[in-house]
């Protein structure tokens, strides 16, 4: 069983999916990736989650994000399930679902938590950047559906932080003020880097308008 940590290069793998055989790193290309696992096909919470992902495809595409799901069922089951998802959730499943019947990918990414289930994958989310580096993980219990607005929010925050070397406060949303990290101490550097200025609640807590707005 593998244990992945933030900053690790995520494991590559070859596996069958609902859109055919893929090599994961090659399929990801230069995009960000949201990889998320599901306990099983034809289960109610998963059906709603994949429906939400289908509806959010335009939002993912705006952010250069590819979504890919995983379940420990086979391709035929995935394809049949996708029809149910499209019918009940009124959307299109335009992203691949990995067929992980041998649980090889689940083991690589530590998706099976024995105290939850010895055979089903928990609801894990991995956000992976274009360099194939793991940037965020979320793990939910089997019975609790994920918040996909939060997944988009985190992608926005990561991309903003990468581009402008800022941090984001709790409950930050796109357009809100951001935080100047403590690594910036020289006032001349700060003035050049953050020309919109800043307000200091404390010497260590400095807010500045979102740089790209």
- The two tokens of residue 197 are 């200025």
Instruction: Report yes or no on whether pTM surpasses 0.85.
Output: yes
Q: What is the DSSP letter of 151?
A: H
pLDDT tens-digit map of 43-78:
999 999 999 999 999 999 999 999 999 998 999 999
For residue 169, pLDDT beyond 70: yes
For residue 145, pLDDT beyond 70: yes
- Could you give the residue numbers annotated as active site? 46
**pLDDT recorded at residue 133:** 98
**Residue 90 exposed, middle or buried by CB count within 10 Å (0-12, 13-18, 19+):** exposed
The domain limits of the chain are 14-145, 165-208
CATH 3.40.605.10 fits 14-145, yes or no: no
For residue 1, pLDDT beyond 50: no
On whether the CB atoms of residues 81 and 42 are closer than 8 A, the answer is yes
């Amino acid at each position: 069983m593998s244990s992945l940590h933030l900053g690790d290069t995520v494991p590559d793998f070859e596996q069958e999916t609902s859109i055919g055989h893929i090599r994961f790193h090659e399929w990801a290309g230069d995009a960000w990736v949201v990889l998320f696992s599901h306990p099983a096909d034809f289960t109610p919470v998963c059906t709603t989650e994949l429906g939400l992902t289908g509806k959010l495809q335009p939002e993912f595409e705006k952010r250069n994000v590819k979504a890919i799901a995983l379940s420990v069922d086979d391709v035929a089951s995935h394809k049949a399930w996708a029809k149910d998802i499209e019918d009940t959730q009124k959307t299109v499943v335009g992203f691949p679902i990995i067929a992980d019947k041998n649980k090889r990918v689940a083991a690589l990414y530590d998706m099976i938590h024995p105290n939850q289930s010895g055979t089903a994958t928990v609801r894990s989310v991995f956000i992976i950047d274009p360099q194939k580096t793991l940037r965020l993980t979320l793990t939910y219990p089997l019975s609790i559906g994920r918040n996909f607005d939060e997944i988009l929010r985190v992608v926005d925050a990561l991309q903003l932080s990468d581009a402008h070397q800022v941090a984001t406060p709790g409950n930050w949303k796109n357009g809100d003020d951001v935080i100047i990290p403590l690594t910036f101490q020289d006032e001349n550097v700060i003035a050049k880097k953050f020309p919109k200025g800043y307000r200091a609640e404390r010497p260590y807590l400095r807010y500045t308008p979102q740089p790209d707005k």
